[in-house]
Amino acid sequence: MAIKSYKPTSPGRRAGMINLREELTDKRRRPTKALLEPLHRTAGRNHHGKITSWWRGGGHKRMYRRVDFKRRNDSGRATVVAIEYDPNRSCHIALIEYPDKTRSYILAPAGLKAGDWVESGQRVEPKPGNAMPLRNIPVGMDVHNVEMTAGQGGKLARSAGVSARLIAREGDWATLLMPSGEMRQVNADCRATIGQLGNIDHQNVQIGKAGRKRHMGRRPHNRGTSMNPIAHPLGGGEGRSGGGRHPCSPWGKLAKGGRTRSPRKNSSKRILRRRRSVRYGQLTLKRKK
């Protein structure tokens, strides 16, 4: 992977970077039409037309690529046709073809290229791109696209450059160390894919200017202190002010210090250690009370 930065001919060019996407087989390649679906976007509005998720809207039109997150086709080895770009996710996707000539998209791990082969099943070779149950994966390996319920499809570790590590297995439960530092248990019958996801340099790209965020479908995010007092509790004042109170939402709900995760989630009881958070340069551990 490589990142290109431009000469500072303008304020936007000065900080902007682009990803050269050297992993792709052909940058001009068109996606497989049979695996595309129209993607309807709501611009952050609910069925009443009211904005429920702010600062979203616009952006370039996209077609959704149907990605096989379940990996339940155990008919044999599939050949990697191409590594393609997916505008709907940060990692790249791989187009694979099975012996019966059916094609599908999967998440492309690092190192996978056109001409390689991948397979899925109960007991397959533990190489990057192969999918198998956690029960049969050697302890200590990095995995991605991990299921939380057997047969449901991969839910965990699906972003560019991430992977979860299988650190233990006891009975019907496998213990995973997540990219966030969280340690959780997952049923050993759930499938996962071997390896780390590709497009590792995605996190190092700097957007550089507001126009690129608009192209991505993100609208301007203005501060509460810049609003009028009728629009936000932090608004108003002469000149620039600090708001005069603790940070809060437009409706007065405090923004810091409260829990954001619902305690009623069934998966919470399988979390052995909460994720880490970095505050003021020190690594602190959030423990479950």
The verdict on residue 164 lying in a domain is yes
Give the number of domains in the chain: 1
Distance from C-alpha of 237 to C-alpha of 105, rounded to nearest angstrom: 54
The verdict on residue 23 lying in a domain is yes
The verdict on residue 241 lying in a domain is no
Structure-block tokens of residue 94: 């791989």
The verdict on residue 174 lying in a domain is yes
The whole-number pLDDT of residue 120 equals: 94
The verdict on residue 209 lying in a domain is no
The whole-number pLDDT of residue 286 equals: 45
CATH number at residue 108: 2.40.50.140
> If you average pLDDT over every residue of the chain, what do you get?
90
- Please give the residue that has the higher pLDDT: either 267 or 192: 192
The verdict on residue 288 lying in a domain is no
**Angle in degrees, CA 200, 203, 209, rounded to 5:** 135
Domain interval for residue 38: 3-202
pLDDT in tens, 130-187: 999 999 999 999 999 999 999 999 999 999 999 999 999 998 999 999 999 999 999 9
The verdict on residue 269 lying in a domain is no
pLDDT in tens, 111-134: 999 999 999 999 899 999 999 999
Alpha helices in the chain (DSSP H): 11-15, 210-215
Shortest CA distance to 118 belongs to which of 147, 138, 94? 94
Q: Quote the pTM value.
A: 0.86
Sequence-separated contacts (24+) of 217-220 with Cβ below 8 Å: 217/41, 217/56, 217/57, 217/58, 217/59, 217/60, 218/55, 218/56, 218/59, 219/55, 219/56, 219/57, 219/58, 220/55
The verdict on residue 245 lying in a domain is no
The whole-number pLDDT of residue 81 equals: 96
The answer to whether 52 touches 45, Cβ cutoff 8 Å, is: yes
DSSP labels for 24-91?
-S-TTPPPPGGGEEE----TTB-TTS-BSS-SB------EEE-B--S----SS-EEEEEEE--TTSSS
List phi, psi (to 5°) of 109: -75, 165
